[in-house]
Structures are given as structure tokens and as C-alpha cells.
Chains A and B, each alone.
Chain A
């Protein structure tokens, strides 16, 4: 390969990753700043974390966020997996075009539109705004992300395995749980994690659909940010980043271990 090109490649990768990571690194570093002025370094301190944990409003918002995230991610994973099955297994049914449009459109739909339209629905059917409405909204937009993730695994799936199970008398439901699900499980798990993070992060749709007593963490952070940059927000952001980072690392280790196990099983099978 041409050397000038590969030097160019390395440079673009280094600059690109510096651009992606530097702001996050600076944010984390300045959460340990002694000074209240975020941009002036005055020595190491963890006092903003202490004051954060004494801030009841933040703690309450964190609980709301976690509850909404866990429930909405779970339902979104079930609905999204069903949606992915419908898209890949049943290629011909009435309204398939509309169905596929409704799966892909929410991925790019501006959040203000989704938020406004869901709020107007809840008002129209007389549902009081609160944790329930936020959860319903989060299920709706994250199920489409789950559907796309699971679908990309399903299209490469060897269907003869399913057909074999059905020929041997397994019902479609048994086939799904005994044959299909174990194979697509990594995609389902990463779909769940994606849905959970999307729910954890969402500000706009939550702001529209939530009501009194259902303030999520991003909503709390946003209202603080509007008043100015403070080290306390940096600390809150650092904790969120740490939670996500730990989750991603655990998932990738689990993935690696599964791959190693599978390789060993295959080798053992080949030897026999």
C-alpha cells in the first residue's frame, strides 16, 4: 500500500478520535476542579460529587430516569424483536410498506415532532402526564432502534435450523425460544442496551410528555445548564458517562468470552 495514503489514514484517525473524545475528557477532568469557575483549574477536589449526592432533586430525577429506562427498554426490546421478526419472516402481508415506514421513520424523525405528537395523543385520550406517559413515549421511539438492530442479525440467520425444528414437530413458539432466540440473543441484548441508553439520554421527548413529579435526569441537567455551567453538572455528567462506560465494557467482555467459548466448542466438535 502507498505510504502517503496510510500516513494520511493514521492522521485522519488520530485527529478524528481526538475530536470525538477531547470534549468528554475535558468535561470529566473539570468535574474534579476545586474552583466553582468551571474553566479555571484550582486543584483536585471531589466536593462537587459530595454536593451532588446531597442534592435531593438530582437523586429523585435519577430514580425516575432509571425506572423509566428499565421498563421502557424491556418493552421496547419485546416489541422491537417482534417487529424485526415480522419484517424478516413475513415478507408479504397487507400494509407491509406502511409497517416498514413506521419502523424506519422514527429513527430520523426530529424529536420535537415526535414529542409534540405524543403529547397531543395523551391529551386527546385524557391520560395524565407523568411517568407512565414518558415510559410509553420512550418505548415507541426505542422499539424501532431495537427492531433495526435485531433485524440485521435475523437476515443473516440460517433459516434451515428453524425449518428443521418445525419439521420435527416443534410449534413456532417453541422453535423461537429454543432455536431462534439463542442465536439472535446478542443482538437482542445490545438492542436492550441501546433502548436503555436512548431512554437515559432523552431530553426533548421527555420534556413534552412528562408532567409534575416525573422530572428525568436530562430534564434536571438541562434546566441547570440554562442557568450556567457548574462543576456539579460536570459531576452528574461524569457519573452518567461512567455508568454507560462500565455497561459497554461488561457487554464487550461477555461478548468476547462467548466468542472464545464458541471457538473452543467448534474446535472440540471438529476433533471428535
Chain B
């Protein structure tokens, strides 16, 4: 009897979240794929064909035969789209490297800090993450504007004579991404460095290895799992980022998240925005799978 209850419970524990994710995560992607093969129409919903399973198999096949590659051809032919994809990937890659350069010393400083203040430092890194993404990006507008606080400060300090034009440039996007995603990179690196056995570095230094060399040969390789996880956590969402390029990048910056948004909300072209999403997903599927593997492996090794 107890075995029976056990197996029923275990089925429920697995199937409830499983079904939820199937319906609200996997099935929506199939719908996106389907609509990316449809044509735009002035109707509700604004695409055709509308597949209706209740209308019978014949009409279903009839609908499928109307599928078209048109939207994908459109994506290839219009340079706006592939330029947006390339510039998104480049901006995300550059920002990831910048985040790593700024984030690694912070994680290292935290891991080397006295054990008593480490929880406080950890909390200080996590705290900004709890405040809204939108608010943190918005805060930078007031700082980077031509008449903003940064320019006021630099002119007061006599560093510059004329205001710098930072807002609505790539630099502003880099600042926005580094700032918003910094905790995502610092935390995994910190947890890798904190677990590290520091006596290895001491041994190397005792044997005459210069500190920088010891860092490069021992500390950095040992922190690699954290570095990889952190870089994925920055790179993947940054590629499809919408809020940061929209608020800080101005109208001239091309990023695919922005393109998708305006295709959907301004042009109301659902099939093309679905095609944009499918291609973006294809570009990101390799990094996403690698990220999922590295997370699953990290969980396994902790058992």
C-alpha cells in the first residue's frame, strides 16, 4: 500500500511541473515556429493560415500546405535584420568581456576577504539584483545625458570643456549591460574561488613562482567553471536585450531584441517577429545547451 502511495506521489511531483513547463514553455515555441511560416493578414489574429484541429484533418493539411518560407527569405534579403543580428552578437560579446574584466577582480577581492565579512559582501553584491532592472537602467539616463551628472562632474573638475556625448551610443549600451549583469558574473566566479584551496598558490609562491604567474597558472584555471557559467549568464540574455538598447542606445543602434519588439508592437507583423525569434533562438541554442550542461554538471558534482 505504502509503495503504491509512494509511486502515485512521485508521479505527481514530477508530472505537475513537467506538464506546466511543456504547456507554457515548449508548446509556445512550436507555435512561434508555426506562425513564422505563416503570412501576415489584416485579421484577428493577424496571420494566416489559422490552424484549427477541430475543423478536421483535411483542413489541417490544407493549412499546412499554405506554409511559406517568405518571412525567412525576407530576413535574409533585408540587410537590416542580419546587421541587427551581427551587431547584437558583437555587442553582447564585447559586454561579456568587459563584465569579466570588471567582475573578476570584485569576485577575487570578495573570496580573499576575511571570512567574517564575506557574507556581508555577498549580500552587497546580490542587493542591486533585487532592485528593478528597469530602474537601474533608467538611473543611467540621468547620469549619461549631455547635461547629466557625469558631464557636470567632469566639467566641474576641469577634465573636459564640452559635454561628452555618451547617451545614445554603443558606449552607453556597454555601460548598461555591464552594470545590469555584473552580479550574474560575480556570483559564480566567487563561489568557484571561495571553494579553492589557497595553499596551492602559497606552495607555488614558496617554490619561487611570481604572484601574477601563480594567479594565471593556478587560480584562474581553477575558477574556470565559474567564469564559464558567468559568461553564459551575461552573453545569452544580453544578445536578446531590449530595455538597455532601447533606453540607452537611442534610435540609431541596431539590436535584434529591439527589432523584434518594433516588428511586433509598431508594425504588428507577427509572422516576421516570430521568424526573428526563431533565428535568434537558433543562434543561441548552442550557448544555451552548453550553459544547461555546465549547470547540470555542477549540480551533479555537489551530490
User: A residues near B, CB below 8 A?
Assistant: 1-2, 5-6, 8-10, 12-13, 16-17, 19-21, 23-24, 26-27, 30, 38-39, 79-80, 82-83, 85-87, 89-90, 93, 95, 98-113, 116-118, 120-121, 123-124, 136-137, 139-140, 143-144, 147-148, 151-152, 155-156, 166, 169, 171-173, 197, 200-201, 203-204, 207-208, 218, 221-222, 225, 229, 233, 237, 240-241, 244-245, 247-248, 252
Known: A19-B179, A100-B296. A13 touches B110 (CB 8 A): yes
**Given known A85-B13, A116-B273, A121-B31, contact A203–B25 (CB-CB < 8 A):** no
Question: In the complex, A93→B281 CA distance in Å?
Answer: 27
CA distance A244 to B126 in the complex (A): 12
- Judging by beta carbons under 8 Å apart, are A111 and B242 in contact? yes
A155 and B303 contacting across the interface, CB-CB below 8 Å? yes
Complex contact A116–B264 (CB within 8 A):
yes
Please give, as numbers and ranges, the residues of chain A lying within 8 Å of B143 by CB-CB distance: 23, 26
A120–B302 contact, CB under 8 A? no
Q: Which of B55-63, B64-72, B77-85, B127-135 is found at the contact surface with chain A?
A: B127-135
Is there an interface contact between B109 and A13, defined as CB atoms closer than 8 Å?
yes
Nearest opposing residue in chain A for B126, CB measure: A248
Q: How far is the CB of A242 from chain B (nearest CB, A)?
A: 10
The 8 A CB mask of B247-267 against A (1 = contact, 0 = none) is: 100000000010011001100
Taking A120-B270, A171-B2 as known contacts, 12 extra A-B pairs with beta carbons closer than 8 A to each other, sorted by chain A number, are: A16-B109, A16-B182, A21-B128, A39-B152, A80-B17, A99-B17, A116-B264, A120-B32, A137-B24, A169-B2, A204-B242, A222-B243
Chain B residue at minimum C-beta to C-beta distance from A99 = B18
**B-side interface mostly:** helix
Q: A116-B32, A240-B132 are in contact. Are A13 and B113 (CB under 8 A)?
A: yes
Q: Is the CB of A229 within 8 A of B138?
A: yes
Task: Evaluate contact between B32 and A117: CB separation under 8 angstroms.
Answer: yes
Closest A residue to B23 by CB, please name it: A121
For residue B124, CB closer than 8 A to chain A, the reply is: yes
A156 to B302, CA, bound (A): 8
**Chain A CB within 8 A of B280 CB:** yes
The interface stretch among B100-108, B154-162, B220-228 is: B100-108
Partner of B25, one of A5, A80, A140: A140
How long is the Cα–Cα vector from A266 to B127 in the complex, in angstroms?
Answer: 31
Candidates A13, A38, A244; contact of B121 at CB < 8 Å? A13
Q: A117 and B277: CB pair below 8 A? A: yes
- Distance of B162 from chain A, by nearest CB (Å): 17
In the bound complex, do residue B110 and residue A2 qualify as a contact, i.e. CB atoms below 8 Å apart?
Answer: no
Chain A positions within 8 Å of B26 at CB level: 98, 102
* Smallest CB separation, B109 vs chain A (Å): 4
Determine whether the beta carbon of B142 is less than 8 Å from that of A30.
Answer: yes
Q: Contact: B232 with A108, CB < 8 Å?
A: yes
Q: Which residue of B lies closest to A194 (CB)?
A: B130
Within 8 Å of chain A (Cβ to Cβ): is B284? yes
Inter-chain CA distance A89–B295, complex, in Å, is 17
Assess whether B24 is in contact with A140, with CB atoms less than 8 Å apart: yes
CB of B242 within 8 A of CB of A20, answer no
Identify B17's interface contact among A83, A155, A171, CB under 8 A: A83
Closest B residue, CB atoms, query A136: B24
Q: 3 shortest A-B CB distances, which residue pairs? A: A110-B240, A117-B28, A12-B105
* Residue total for B at the interface (Cβ-Cβ under 8 A): 94
Contact A24–B29 (Cβ < 8 Å): no
Q: Is there an interface contact between A241 and B131, defined as CB atoms closer than 8 Å?
A: yes
Name the one of A23, A39, A121, A218 contacting B132, with C-beta atoms under 8 angstroms. A218
Residue of B nearest to A14 (CB): B109
Q: Given A16-B102, A27-B138, A120-B35: A90 and B20 within 8 A (CB)?
A: no
Give bound CA distance, A140 to B24, whole Å.
Answer: 7
By beta carbon, the residue of chain B nearest A170 is B2
Contact A90 B13, beta carbon cutoff 8 Å: yes
Contacts of A166 in B (CB 8 A): 2
Chain A residues in 8 Å Cβ range of B239 = 110
Cα of A225 to Cα of B35 in the assembled complex, Å? 32
24 A–B contacts, CB within 8 A, in A order: A9-B108, A23-B136, A27-B135, A39-B145, A80-B17, A87-B299, A93-B14, A95-B18, A100-B292, A100-B296, A104-B292, A109-B288, A110-B257, A113-B240, A121-B23, A121-B24, A121-B28, A139-B24, A140-B21, A172-B5, A173-B9, A204-B243, A221-B138, A245-B130
State whether the Cβ of B116 lies closer than 8 Å to any Cβ in chain A. no
Contact (Cβ within 8 A) B128 A20: yes
